[in-house]
Homo-oligomer: A and B are copies of this chain.
Amino acid sequence: MQSAVSSGSSLKADSVSVLRSITPNLVYTKHKGQAGKIAVVGGCREYTGAPYFAAISALKIGADLSHVFCTKDAGSVIKSYSPELIVHPVLEESYCIRDEDRSSVSAKVMAEVDKWMDRFDCLVVGPGLGRDPFLLECVSNIIRHARKCNLPMVIDGDGLFLVTHCLDLVRGYPLAVLTPNLNEYKRLVQAVLTSEVDEEDEAEQLKALVKGIGGVTVLRKGETDLICDGKTVNSVSTYGSPRRCGGQGDILSGSVAVFLCWARQCADLGELYPTNPTVLGCIAGSTLLRKAAALAFENKGRSTLTGDIIEYLGRSLEELCPHC
């Protein structure tokens, strides 16, 4: 599963083998839903692109159904990006509701999300969520409820802002994956370890961070992606692109969500590895995004946008893992 090449105290993952080992065969006997049902919680007055990118990426990688839970304002716009998504415009922001209605609205939001929760294989929390306090309060309840349902969660963007300020939401939950970029990672390290980022000993600090949060998996994005569940630190540095346009993190969150489902299906079937399936999902998700970004960059150069990378997800997966 992992090569013996050690880079500092992290293991350079044989990431293409990991991806191949957890990607399910395409067979005609399966029915809708078995390749994964993903839901993205995000999308508000300001942000509509991010949840779209995460949700459509999940479909393009091979999930069967992709839902988005967003605010009313964001709903029509996200729907207009693609008829492939199922969009629930059920979240609310403070500016739309009166103070005295907060608890009833909050209960209503939870009831709407609750109806669906046990139909999903993985939740992506955060792309384009925004930072409205009432919205974040509702999303905290969604996270608590998802934990009760043992639902894996990928937490990114403003979801990380929320979790960094309320670590108890994920503390000790092994099915949570946090996917911080450089700045989000800095804030996590400050919150958990009350220190600065140690660039000399990245792997050890990441391990300490994960232990400090207790039992989650962290995928730290960067020139090299580092993945740690508290026991091992794996690195993925294959492929990649020098283009840093906004939105690539959203693709990653959707990608990790799908591979998490698939890795867990392998684990459930007893095709088990000595490795945590959550870690495998992260390795595969990172590898696929990096491959698609590389292909898009080869073709579009400096003008590569996130939408271009999404268009290469299918071909990238096919090249890494040809279907038989």
Binding site for B on A (CB under 8 A): 26-35, 45-50, 52-53, 59-65, 73, 76-77, 79-89, 181-182, 222-223, 240-248, 300-307, 313-315, 317-318, 323
Contacting pair B84 A81 (CB below 8 A): no
**Contacts of A53 on B, CB cut-off 8 Å?**
83
A-B residue pairs in contact (CB < 8 Å), sample of 25: A26-B242, A26-B243, A27-B242, A28-B240, A28-B241, A30-B242, A30-B244, A34-B244, A46-B87, A47-B86, A48-B87, A49-B79, A49-B84, A59-B305, A61-B302, A62-B243, A62-B303, A65-B246, A82-B307, A84-B305, A84-B306, A300-B314, A302-B318, A303-B315, A304-B314
A177 to B173: give the CA distance in the assembly, Å. Answer: 48
Q: In the complex, what's the smallest C-beta–C-beta distance from A313 to chain B, in angstroms?
A: 6
Given A50-B83, A76-B77, 4 additional A-B pairs, CB 8 A: A48-B83, A80-B81, A303-B318, A304-B314
Q: A104–B79 Cα gap in the complex (Å)? A: 31
- In the bound complex, do residue A83 and residue B307 qualify as a contact, i.e. CB atoms below 8 Å apart? yes
Q: How many copies does the complex hold?
A: 2
Q: Which chain B positions have C-beta within 8 A of A89?
A: 45
Name A242's contact: one of B28, B83, B242, B302 (CB within 8 Å).
Answer: B28
Residues of B within 8 A of A48 (CB): 79, 83, 87
Decide if A244 touches B32 in the complex (CB within 8 Å).
yes
Complex-state Cα separation, A62 to B87, whole angstroms: 30
Given A49-B85, A89-B45, A244–B76 Cβ distance below 8 Å? no
A303, B313: Cβ atoms closer than 8 Å: yes
Report how far A83 CA is from B315 CA in the complex, Å: 22
Most B CB contacts (10 A, CB to CB) among A85, A245, A303 go to A303
Q: Which residues of B lie under 8 Å from residue A86 when comparing CB positions? A: 46-47, 49, 246
B247 close to A84 (CB less than 8 A): yes
In the docked arrangement, what's the CA distance between A60 and B307, Å?
A: 11
Measured CA separation A141–B28 after assembly (Å): 38
